[in-house]
Copies of this chain bind each other. A is one copy, B any other.
């Protein structure tokens, strides 16, 4: 028998054809390296679901080979599934200092901190496993301390860029390690997996530091308090806001749990430099004149329970919006959040605040590479094979086209889906089979117990509500002893629809009588008769289709 060629297997279990729940398994011989372990926020149709995590059945089946989870950065879509995954699979977690700092607060909430093996690495570190070694390379992104990951194997180097942009003037001075990408490229990279988020955007993403000018201008002109909402994880943005506050002699208060948590971690670990006497407790803001105050807060996506939304709706316990406040929403709406943000903006304006948001000023820059930056990365790394990742199909497709335009043969580019197995040898990249993959819904304490049937019911209930029909019948004769009672929830308001309910009850009585006369005693048949007669009646009268739930009690 011919010895099988050595190959790298790449198995994305999340992050392809979606934005979120990034998790990719890289296999070589006895080593499985997991890159990232993210969550996804539920789509609109996932009613009642809190978060969505990847199905890791495949990893559990191969658990003895999983050498660790290697994190590129500390965003939810890259680390958010960790507490759930680690409960099933307690493997070492590798990440840079800030990333692990954020992970720690998460694990603490899940009472997992003491049992998980966190391994802190820094850019340029190399972790040697049995058959491969894993190298961390500095990148820039909208969170500090992000890295790309290079996996060195006998077949060649696999490079996963993580989320990145090219920022020549980053706030922390740590420019992406372009020299290392170039060096790897010169020596030869077998396969690259790269961020596709912004592939539709021409040109370059602006440097985070350009926002310094915007903040400067706003701080110069603001006569009242300044309230800035941004992503809690954007340490560099927060650093710039604090710098402006210090320059203009304003105190800084913080509101919003995630903002407080991450700022605390970032300060403790040295990622955020704040003069201690600049920070004040939010309880003390009224002790200072309005033009001496900056409040940094969460809610830049209009999330219902966030600090900014509560301020806008007059539901915040400690902060009321005042006429003359300047509120900066330093973010871009994530698709799906446009209306939520718009509502907050309207409420803030109504309270007399000046609201400064994307449509009106340059108050945000993206964390992802646009076309020209992607071209730079491709040109430096010159991979033999390429797999676009981190995007919906439209992004993957266009990133694949970009690679081909830069000279890669189209056979060397693979657009894959979650669960597909991609094999890379020295000469070839190809798909070879699939493994179990999918989405696991987290709802309250339940992980995976809400499935499609429950969601379908929630959808049905949400549209037209439910009519419950209860009747007690005598076992022997099938004759009705009590009921039928009809109860509506979410269908019509009964007090205003008494006639309809009366008619419905008569129809059910008729159906029951008919069953009795025809000696139909099977519950299933009686129930389906009730359902059918009600369904037709209600649709004719209302053109609605509530869920109909007949319940028969026998005595």
Binding site for B on A (CB under 8 A): 17, 43-44, 47-48, 200-201, 335-336, 338-339, 342, 345-347, 349-350, 355, 359-360, 392-394, 397, 443-446, 449-451, 453-455, 457-466, 468, 470, 472, 481-483, 485, 487, 489-493, 496-497, 541-544, 547, 549, 551, 553-555
Contacts and interface: CB of A to CB of B under 8 A. Distances in A.
A422 to B, nearest CB: 18
Contact of A465 (B454, B487, B551): B454
A554 B338 CA distance: 51
Given A360-B200, A489-B457, A463 B47 contact: yes
A16 B327 CA distance: 23
B444 A492 contact: no
Contacts of A457: 465, 489-490
B464 A392 contact: no
Copy total for this chain: 2
Main secondary structure of the interface of A (DSSP, over half): mixed
Nearest to A458: B490
A553 B469 CA distance: 11
Contacts of A347: 393
Contacts of A445: 541-544
Contacts of A489: 457, 461, 466, 547, 549
Given A457-B465, A497-B449, A346 B490 contact: no
Nearest to A343: B392
Nearest to A417: B350
13 contacts: A47-B462, A48-B462, A335-B342, A338-B338, A355-B394, A445-B543, A446-B492, A458-B462, A461-B489, A462-B462, A466-B466, A472-B472, A553-B553
A551 B470 contact: yes
Contacts of A350: 393
B451 A482 contact: no
Contacts of A450: 492-493
A48 B393 contact: no
B449 A492 contact: yes
A490 B46 CA distance: 12
A411 to B, nearest CB: 17
Nearest to A345: B394
A553 B460 CA distance: 27
Nearest to A340: B44
Given A339-B336, A472-B482, A472-B553, A490 B465 contact: no
B472 A394 contact: no
A481 to B, nearest CB: 5
Contacts of A461: 458, 461-462, 465-466, 489-490
A487 to B, nearest CB: 6
Contact of A443 (B472, B544, B551): B544
Nearest to A452: B493
Given A457-B465, A461-B465, A487-B549, 8 more contacts: A335-B342, A336-B339, A338-B338, A342-B394, A349-B397, A451-B493, A457-B490, A470-B551
Contacts of A393: 346-347, 349-350
A387 B493 CA distance: 38
A45 to B, nearest CB: 10
B394 A449 contact: no
A394 B346 contact: yes
A47 B544 CA distance: 13
A362 to B, nearest CB: 13
B483 A553 contact: yes
